[in-house]
Amino acid sequence: MEINRRSVAENKMNSRELFQKVKELNLPLGRYALFGSAPMAAKDLRDCRDIDIIVTADIWNEFKGKKKWEAVRSGNGAWHLASDDLELWKDWGPGQWNVEELIREAEIIDGLPFVKLEMVLAWKKLNAREKDLKDAKAIEKFLKANER
């Protein structure tokens, strides 16, 4: 059986395509931010295969009723709305996260708001899965190299 795998170059393009999909949602700034691996992809630290978007309650409610968006329960019990490679989250876990504050403090890169890498680092360490710990090391190295 042949497995279809994308090359690294295709994955890089995929991150850009995913960012474009987010832009096409026309979400209002100040009501959402990209979390998960997306902030790392924005800084060229790794690719992302999907985009986790934290959103305010009004955005969540607006998309909850749209045809292309399906409510899905994640492994930690939280609900999100999924459409292809995009996921909308009104809550974020594990741990206690103030979604509105994360959105308010987001860093704008190429017109999109991204949760700050320091917060992604804290979340990765809290999750403590093997892939998250690997990502945490990459973020720490990046932050140290870019200290002012």
Name the range with the highest mean pLDDT among 9-23, 37-51, 87-101. 37-51
Structural domains in the chain plus CATH codes = 8-116 (3.30.460)
At 124, is the secondary structure helix, strand, or coil? helix
What are the pLDDT digits (tens) for 119-141?
999 999 988 889 999 999 999 99
Q: Which segments within the chain are labelled E, that is strand?
A: 32-35, 51-55, 70-73, 79-83, 86-89, 107-109, 112-114
Q: Which pTM was predicted?
A: 0.86
- Angle ∠(140,54,7) on CA atoms, nearest 5: 60
How do the residues of the chain divide into helix, strand and coil, expressed in percent and rounded to 5? 45, 20, 40
Which of 34-38, 91-95, 118-122, 137-141 bottoms out in mean pLDDT, i.e. has the lowest?
Answer: 91-95
pLDDT of residue 65: 84
pLDDT of residue 38: 96
